[in-house]
Amino acid sequence: MKKILLFIVTCLLHFSSTQAQDFQGKAIYHSKTSVADFNFGGREISEEQKKRFMARMKEQSEKTFILTFDKTAAIYEEEEKLETPGRDNGGRGRFRFGDFSGGKLYKNIKDQDYAKESEMFGKVFLIKDDLKQLNWTMGSETKKIGNYMCYKATAIQAIDSTDFETLRRKRDQERRKENATKKDTTQNKTRIFKETEAVKEIEITAWFTPEIPVSQGPGEYWGLPGLILEVNAGNTVLLCTKIVLNADEKVEIKAPTKGKVISQQEYNETLLAKMEEMSERFRGGNRGPGGNSNRGRN
């Protein structure tokens, strides 16, 4: 541990003596989420449908993000992808991935707050809230990521009960419990209730490099004495594949300003309510703005 601290101090001194005040960097991250253990909630679907669904999930879980940072602030955004011809599916799937989207995430380490533009069903919101500080524990393990020596740090992250995914999962869990009818065996009911038990916390593993002593990282992660190059959180891995420091072309790092100001909790609750509304319309047969479903017709 003393060697790690000594190395960090050395990097800080070297960085301070060699970098100009207008220091800026860019890191490219690739994300990948394992979908191998995805639960279909007991729904009866064919193997072919499962394969198509899992292939689509895998494709959508693999994304590229760009983190542009200076000494105190950063912009984190997803790299835009061109639409693949022939993947429109007649309009299916566009609700989930086209009717709401996350924009640029601005993180200010000095003020410990963030701002994010997000569009939901044609309306732009400006989410403003405080950055959450994880209680990192430094480890003694090291490894190289690219040309940078990285050190391991871990933290236990409590699941935010107001997070959108947590709210959605809770809703799905309640529905599955309701669907456990009297005909279900005691063993089957026990299985359903165990599967729907809420996860209260997850372990986060991060690898950071003191050679770039900025307290930044991908997404919501920050707070270590060096740039975070890899994060393992649950089924998701974020890995840095490229770093550019002090490029000739500078990018303005500033907080977004467009949209209705809202807290993260308020935004999550609004999004879940909209999702519920669309889900009810879908189940009721009104699959589009014109309600052109043929369900129930002779």
Pull the structure tokens for residue 89: 């599916």
- Condensed to tens digits (0 to 9), the pLDDT of residues 14-39 reads 555 445 467 899 999 999 887 655 55
Confidence bin at 64 (pLDDT 50/70/90): very high
Q: Which CATH number covers residue 150?
A: 2.50.20
Cβ contact 56:89 at 8 Å: no
- Condensed to tens digits (0 to 9), the pLDDT of residues 190-229 reads 554 454 455 678 899 999 999 999 999 999 999 999 999 9
Nearest alpha carbon to residue 72 among 105, 102, 106: 106
264 within a domain of the structure (yes/no): yes
- Condensed to tens digits (0 to 9), the pLDDT of residues 163-199 reads 555 555 555 556 666 666 555 556 555 554 454 455 6
- Mean pLDDT on 6-20: 53
Task: Tally the domains of the chain.
Answer: 1
Sign of CA dihedral 228, 119, 256, 158: negative
Cα 14 to Cα 35: distance, rounded to the nearest angstrom: 43
62 within a domain of the structure (yes/no): yes
174 within a domain of the structure (yes/no): no
Percent share of the chain, pLDDT over 70: 60
**207: exposed, middle or buried (C-beta count within 10 Å: 0-12, 13-18, 19+)?**
buried
More confident residue, 133 or 278: 133
Confidence bin at 12 (pLDDT 50/70/90): low
- Mean pLDDT on 141-153: 97
297 within a domain of the structure (yes/no): no
4: which strand partners? Answer: none
Cβ contact 235:93 at 8 Å: no
- Condensed to tens digits (0 to 9), the pLDDT of residues 95-141 reads 343 344 568 999 999 999 999 999 888 899 999 999 999 999 999 99
Which regions of 9-161 does DSSP assign to beta strands (E)?
25-33, 63-69, 73-78, 100-108, 113-120, 123-130, 137-145, 148-158
192 within a domain of the structure (yes/no): no
Which domain covers residue 267, as residue numbers?
2-81+94-159+199-282
Angle at 288 between CA 51 and CA 165, to 5 degrees: 55
β-bridge pairing 25-33 and 63-69? antiparallel
59 within a domain of the structure (yes/no): yes
